[in-house]
Copies of this chain bind each other. A is one copy, B any other.
Amino acid sequence: MKIVCIGAGNVATHLAQALFRAGYVIVQVVSRTEEHVWSLAQSVDAGWTTDFDRIEAADLYIYSVSDAVLEETIRRNPQTEGLHVHTAGSMPLTLFEGLKRRGGVLYPLQTFSKEKPVDFGEVPLFVEASGCDDLNTLKKLGADIGCKTFEADSTQRQQLHLAAVFACNFTNHLFAIAESILKEANLPFEVLRPLIQETINKTATLSPREAQTGPAVRKDDNVMNKHLSKLSDHPQWQEIYRLLSESILKNH
């Protein structure tokens, strides 16, 4: 199976390298950014181009580009045969119907950084395709790179992406606020790490709802009022504190 990878960002890089390691042939890497495309192509023994009119014929095209340019990028590929898949959480499969291509999705639910190696055994991969053969191709590909592979339709994938924003992006922002609060007391963020780790470990045996602790779920107004007054220089954090505490109370 010949693969062309379109995009050379974090997802494209880790996915192409995992496929290469699993024995797949990457014939070409395509990206506007010469520096990125070249170094990715080198690492997976592939040809490369920055010219979207020169995309080669292949069995599988993987588009890992930003949502904003995804549709336009697919449309610019002169090759219309083969299976075309994107890797975006919030973009539907119907995108390809409109463009008259055999389409699919490979959505790895993980946060990737270029410089950090990825253990694909720890990456749930959500696949979707309109044809049964294509779906099986994507499932096999997921298994070959070591992923736990699940089927998810476009609606489920959008819910996954939304849930990931709460559990990952927003969580990280709460860590950033905690870091700032500690800095004001000359304490390093590291002292919170064991507590954060235990918060996650608990969800292995209790649902997050059952595992809830803290002043809000105890309705400890005394502590909550102390905390709110300590946040008086940070009205936005105060509002976050108030809103999340109300939401916890409502949930219990």
A interface residues, Cβ below 8 angstroms from B:
67-68, 90, 109-111, 113, 116, 122-124, 150, 152, 155-156, 158-179, 181-182, 184-187, 189, 191-200, 202-205, 207-209, 211-217, 220, 222-223, 226-227, 230-231, 236-237, 239-241, 243-244, 246-248, 250-251
Question: Please, which residue of chain B has its CB at the minimum distance from the CB of A244?
Answer: B170
Q: Do A202 and B111 touch (CB < 8 A)?
A: yes
Given contacts A109-B192, A223-B67, A240-B243, contact A167 B174 (CB under 8 A): yes
Given contacts A216-B169, A236-B250, contact A164 B185 (CB under 8 A): no
Given contacts A111-B195, A169-B215, A196-B171, contact A163 B181 (CB under 8 A): yes
Which 9 interchain pairs have the tightest Cβ spacing?
A169-B214, A159-B185, A175-B208, A167-B178, A176-B208, A163-B178, A163-B181, A156-B185, A122-B194
Interface of A is mostly: helix
8 Å CB contact of A236 from B90, B211, B246 = B246
| Complex interface: chain B residues within 8 A of A197 (CB) | 122, 200
How many copies of the shown chain assemble into the complex?
A: 2
| Complex interface: chain B residues within 8 A of A237 (CB) | 166, 247
Tell me, rounded to whole Å, the shortest Cβ–Cβ distance linking A111 to chain B.
5
Question: Please, which residue of chain B has its CB at the minimum distance from the CB of A206?
Answer: B113
8 Å CB contact of A171 from B171, B204, B247 = B171
Tell me, rounded to whole Å, the shortest Cβ–Cβ distance linking A112 to chain B.
9
Counting chain B CB atoms within 10 Å of each CB, the highest count among A155, A196, A197, A227 belongs to: A196
Report the Cα distance A168→B170, complex, angstroms: 13
Q: Do B222 and A68 touch (CB < 8 A)?
A: yes
Q: Do A208 and B226 touch (CB < 8 A)?
A: no
Report the Cα distance A67→B226, complex, angstroms: 12
Question: Please, which residue of chain B has its CB at the minimum distance from the CB of A165?
Answer: B214
| Complex interface: chain B residues within 8 A of A111 (CB) | 195, 198-199, 202, 213
Q: Do A158 and B230 touch (CB < 8 A)?
A: yes
8 Å CB contact of A179 from B68, B181, B209, B246 = B209
